[in-house]
Structure 1
Amino acid sequence: MSSDRAAPGVSWEELVADTPAMVRAALPMLRWRLDLLWQLRLPVQRLAVAQFDWLLDLPLWQRDGRRFQVTPRQVLAAPDRFGDHLRRVLAAELDFPIHAVAHHDRLVVLDGYHRLARATFEGRREIAAMVLSRADLDGICRSG
């Protein structure tokens, strides 16, 4: 497995503790389940890519087995330095919508940062998105 895709497994508590403050402030720090997220059947909307631009500055991606080391914007600005991430960005399927949710009065991406980066890289103005309600988000959260 690529060094830029895998990071050692940690507990939820360790993950939250390691999450940079800027990421914790920007995103809902809830333990939601990806499998349940992907099972949601919500209407697909076309949203402006520009409204998510600020998220590209969050250190969301890992490098050399360490989480929170690389921003999507760094990959777009210097793709030769981040080959594994660039390959994922370019392979991202834009026909598959991103998942977003309102948090602190603006939409944030839960799943789909490589798709967002590809849309940005290609200069697209819109991206397909499923927007979760707070009840949808609560419904995919793990208990305990």
Structure 2
Amino acid sequence: MNRVPFPLLAQRPTVLDGVLLDFHWDLERLHSLVLPERDVETAGLLWHLELPFWSVGGRPFRVSPIDVASEPSAHSEQWERTMSADLRYPLETYEGDGGRLIILDGVHRLLKAMIEGRPVLRARILAVEDFDAIAVTDADGGS
């Protein structure tokens, strides 16, 4: 399969290597998959909150979720997204090296769960061998 490269790959900080996928993928495709689910301990996912996932002023990879939680007024857009996140929906994850769960979609939910002191979250787990099911390809027209 000829996957379309992640559009912001050149701007991605090295700390996100092995966390963000290196190809463009489709959230709707991910949500449409029937995936195994399980409860996961929130504490085991908190390392995500230290990573600069989020944009500031339209510039990607500028702020970490923990920075947003530390100074909500300076990051009001991300703070509002966090506080409106619906924890009824599971996190979308995949198993990285060593079986560590990596969040594809749901970092705002994770931050909200941490703020609320929730010890467990529900997660859907995409197998690495199923990445093609969510990948945007040249045949899709790329983007």
For the 8 Å contact 2:6–2:23, the answer to whether it is kept is no
Matched residues, number? 134
Contact kept? 1:100, 1:131, Cα under 8 Å: yes
> For structure 1, which runs of at least 5 residues remain unmatched after alignment?
1-10
Give the letter for the 1:121 counterpart: I
Please point out which of 90, 105, 111 is paired with 1:111. Answer: 105
Q: Name the amino acid aligned to 1:51.
A: G
Residues 16 and 51 in structure 2, CA contact (< 8 A), matched pair in contact too? yes
Structure 2 unaligned spans of 5+: 139-143
Please list the CA deviations of residues 46-85 of structure 1 after superposition, one character each: whole Å capped at 9, or x if unmatched.
1111111111111000011111011001011111221111
1:52 to 16, 41, 45: 45
* CA-based RMSD: 1.6
Q: Match for residue 141 of structure 2?
A: none
TM-score (norm 1): 0.85
Aligned partners of 1:17 and 1:118: how far apart in 2? 30
Q: Which residue of 1 aligns with 2:132?
A: 138
Displacement of 1:27 in angstroms is 3.0
Amino acid across the alignment from 2:60: R
| Correspondence for 2:58 among 54, 59, 65 | 65
Instruction: State the match for 2:17 in structure 1.
Output: 24
Q: Would you say the 8 A contact 1:27–1:103 is kept in 2?
A: no
Of all paired residues, the percent bearing the same amino acid is 33
Tell me the TM-score normalized by structure 2: 0.86
| Counterparts of 1:139 and 1:13, CA distance in 2 | 16
Give the CA deviation at 1:13.
Answer: 5.8
Deviations 1:92-119 (A, max 9, x none): 0000111010112211000011111111
Equivalences for residues 28-47 of structure 1 within 5 A: 28-47=21-40
| Residue 142 (structure 1) shift | 1.8
Structure-2 separation of matches of 1:107 and 1:86: 24
Tell me the residue number matched to 2:95: 102
Q: Which moved more, 1:92-101 or 1:131-140?
A: 131-140
Amino acid of the structure 1 residue aligned with 2:50:
D
Whether the aligned pair in 2 keeps the contact of 1:28 and 1:103 (CA below 8 Å) is no
